[in-house]
């Protein structure tokens, strides 16, 4: 049996639209016109309101909307010893064919990145725990401990850099050594979070899908294709927020990435071997805590280029790695348009794992047809049932619903208004209530 609560039947991915006042105060703070205390007061107020909103809407895995972060990846890496935030890094250290890199190169560069410059070590002080503690303190007494914390993937600052550029060669002799220290630091962070009461962690990895060759991801955005500064970005450049997943962005990942990888003479591994290394880093990072905390992985992708892709052997092989070798309990997956269809890979999700189906889009205000979404959930359940020899009802016990991504992976937020976001969250809750009446 897959463990439940978390995940819950109705979930969202963590980031929520910020109120205008908060954005204004953050802007003023960065311009030196507001104090840190002013900003904190505004954040506290906004978090209180968004926590209450989520509770009222019937959500249990409540987040702080990522309101204290400028971008979804937060501050984990930036606060590690040996990791340095660099402004305007030289462009020749990047793998130009990696989707988010290609995205930010179009804009002249990343503006800012985070790079290993020395031996990586956790300082013993968490930059995330206070976010969670405050959120948790706002929950009704009988729900304390349920708040969800989103964390950046442990492998986030690797793929973008050319081989040998992610760390200084005199610090680490191999990628294995580098990842071992990252995993150690990640585990230390999780230990601090666990001691503070955190039991539900969602790891965000918008680039993971790059390895899934037939996955077609909306790469421009969730992460790195906007500059950190200047702060005010055009809406179209915000994370996971492109109004449309254009057909060519589909090719971007699957074809240009693979082609680029194969043609890059500095790569000593295949993409597939790199995926193994990443999975090991993930598993090492959570090994000490996976039996006492709930871990979910959110990966992003856009539209599939037709369901025919699912039938290709290569995809199945990777689905097996993703669902069976990675030691997380839950997958938060994008399935927000009919074209994203193709639940076939879900047949590889083992009996003890959950899938949260992101059937509602957070990109557009248009409301999905509830009945159609219910049908999609049942369709996914059929596939998962078939794969494990369960009944559809048994498979449904391992499923929940959510928007396909956050509403504001970057503080600017998606091209969707606050009331639209509320409507979407209501819709997710209603679908969950109809499929699983009375369940959180
Ligand atoms: Zn996402």
pLDDT in tens, 155-196: 999 999 999 999 999 999 999 999 999 999 999 999 999 999
Which CATH number does the domain 20-435 belong to among 3.20.20.210, 3.30.9.10, 1.10.3720.10, 3.30.365.10?
3.20.20.210
- Is pLDDT larger for residue 240 or for residue 318? 318
Looking at residue 299, what is its pLDDT? 85
Ligand 1: centre distance to CA 401 (Å) = 14
Alpha carbon of 411 to ligand 1 centroid (Å): 14
244 Cα to the center of ligand 1, angstroms: 14
* CA dist list (Å): 427 to 141, 146, 276, 416: 27, 22, 38, 15
Q: What is the pLDDT of residues 62-83, one digit of tens each?
A: 999 999 999 999 999 999 999 9
- pLDDT tens for 325-352 read 999 999 999 887 655 557 888 999 999 9
Domain ranges within the chain, ordered by starting residue: 20-435
| Tens-digit pLDDT profile for residues 391-405 | 999 999 999 999 999
- pLDDT for 251 equals 34
Q: Tell me, in angstroms, the distance from the centre of ligand 1 to residue 52's CA.
A: 23
Report every protein residue that has its C-beta within 5 angstroms of ion ligand 1. Answer: 222, 240, 300, 405
Q: Distance between CA atoms of 348 and 331, rounded to whole angstroms?
A: 12
| pLDDT tens track for 282-318 | 999 999 999 999 999 998 753 333 323 333 334 556 7
Calculate how far, in angstroms, residue 206's C-alpha sits from the geometric centre of ligand 1: 6
For residue 107, the CA-to-ligand 1 centroid distance in Å is: 21
Q: Ligand 1: distance of its center to the CA of 170 in Å? A: 35
Burial of 244 (0-12, 13-18, 19+ CB in 10 A): exposed
How many C-beta atoms lie closer than 10 Å to residue 434's C-beta? 13
Q: Could you tell me the distance, in angstroms and rounded to a whole number, from the CA of residue 404 to the centre of ligand 1?
A: 7
Residue 294's closest CA among 348, 354, 359?
354
The partner residues of 297 in beta bridges, in order of sequence, read 203, 331
Per-residue H/E/C for 396-438: HCCEEEEECCCCCCECCCCCCCHHHHHHHHHHHHHHHHHHCCC
Question: Residue 311, exposed/middle/buried by CB under 10 A (0-12, 13-18, 19+)?
Answer: exposed
Residue 91: its pLDDT value, please? 93
Sheet containing strand 149-152, edge to edge, reads: 149-152, 200-204, 294-299, 330-334, 354-360, 399-403
Inter-residue contact 338 to 380 (CB < 8 Å): no
How many Å apart are CA 293 and CA 286, to the nearest integer? 9
State in Å: Cα 373 to ligand 1 middle. Answer: 19
| C-beta separation of 365 from 416 below 8 A | yes
- The pLDDT tens digits for 351-365 are 999 999 999 999 889
115 to each of 82, 86, 91, 162, 409, how far by Cα in Å?
8, 7, 13, 12, 21
Please tell me the distance between residue 172's alpha carbon and the centre of ligand 1 in angstroms.
31
100: pLDDT strictly greater than 50: yes
- The more confidently predicted of residues 292 and 231 is 292
Q: Is the full-model pTM beyond 0.85?
A: yes
């Amino acid at each position: 049996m897959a463990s439940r609560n978390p995940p819950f039947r109705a979930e969202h991915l963590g980031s929520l639209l910020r109120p205008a006042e908060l954005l204004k105060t953050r802007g003023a703070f960065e311009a030196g016109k507001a104090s840190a205390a002013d900003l904190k007061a505004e954040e506290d107020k906004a978090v209180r309101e968004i926590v209450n909103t989520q509770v009222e809407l019937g959500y249990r895995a409540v987040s702080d909307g990522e309101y204290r972060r400028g971008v979804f990846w937060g501050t984990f890496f930036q606060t590690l010893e040996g990791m340095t935030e660099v402004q305007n890094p030289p462009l020749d250290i990047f793998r130009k064919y990696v989707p988010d890199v290609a995205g930010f190169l179009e804009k002249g560069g990343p503006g800012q990145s985070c790079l290993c410059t020395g031996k990586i070590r956790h300082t013993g002080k968490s930059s995330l725990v206070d976010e969670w503690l405050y959120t948790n303190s706002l929950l009704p007494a009988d729900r304390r401990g349920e708040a969800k914390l989103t964390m950046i993937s442990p492998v986030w600052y690797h793929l973008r850099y050319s081989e040998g550029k992610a760390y200084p060669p005199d610090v680490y002799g191999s990628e294995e050594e580098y990842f071992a220290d990252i995993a150690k630091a990640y585990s230390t962070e999780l230990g601090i979070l666990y001691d503070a009461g955190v039991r539900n962690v969602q790891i965000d990895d918008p680039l993971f899908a790059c390895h899934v060759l037939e996955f077609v991801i909306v790469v421009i955005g969730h992460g790195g294709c906007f500059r950190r500064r200047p702060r005010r970005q055009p809406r179209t450049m915000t994370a996971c927020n492109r109004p449309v997943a254009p057909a060519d962005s589909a090719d971007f990942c699957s074809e240009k990435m693979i082609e680029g990888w194969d043609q890059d003479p500095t790569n000593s591994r295949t993409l597939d071997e790199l995926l193994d290394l990443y999975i090991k880093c993930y598993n090492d990072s959570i090994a000490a805590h996976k039996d006492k905390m709930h871990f979910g992985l959110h990966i992003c992708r856009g539209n599939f280029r037709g369901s025919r892709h699912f039938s290709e052997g290569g995809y199945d092989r990777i689905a097996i790695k993703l669902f069976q070798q990675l030691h997380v309990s839950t997958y938060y997956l994008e399935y927000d348009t009919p074209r994203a269809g193709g639940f076939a890979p879900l047949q590889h999700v083992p009996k003890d794992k959950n899938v949260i189906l992101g059937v509602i889009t957070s990109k557009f205000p248009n409301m999905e047809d509830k009945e159609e979404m219910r049908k999609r959930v049942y369709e996914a359940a059929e596939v998962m049932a078939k794969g494990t020899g369960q009944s559809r009802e048994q498979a449904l016990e391992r499923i929940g619903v959510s928007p396909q991504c956050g509403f504001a992976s970057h503080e600017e937020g998606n091209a969707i208004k606050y009331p639209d976001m509320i409507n979407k969250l209501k819709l997710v809750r209603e679908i969950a209530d109809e499929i699983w009446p009375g369940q959180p």
